[in-house]
Amino acid sequence: MTVKQTVSIQNKLGMHARPAMKLFELVQSFDADVLLRNEAGTEAEANSVIALLMLDSAKGGKIEVEASGPQEAEALQAVVELFASRFDEE
C-alpha cells in the first residue's frame, strides 16, 4: 500500500540544500520509500539530496509526498511535520 499527502513549502527559501539534507536524514530512519512530486510533475526520491534539489520548489509551492513500505505511515507523518515546521529555519 502507498500513502500520500500534499504539503506546502512554508520556509522562505524553499527547497534548498539545508532542507534537502534534513529531509534526506529524516527518511533514512524509516523502513519506507519516500517520493516527492512538485506541481510540474518532477519527482524526486527522498533518499537523494541531489534529486530533492532538482525539485526547484519555492515558498508557497505544493509538494505531494508519497510513502510506501513497512513504515510508510510513520515516514509520511514525519515528513509532513518537517514541512510544517518550516525545516526549523524560521
As to burial, measured by CB atoms within 10 angstroms (0-12 exposed, 13-18 middle, 19+ buried), residue 65 is buried
Q: Give yes or no: 16 in active site.
A: yes
* Active-site residue, selected from the candidate residues 5, 13, 16, 58: 16
Q: How far apart are CA 30 and CA 9, in angstroms?
A: 22
List the catalytic residues.
16
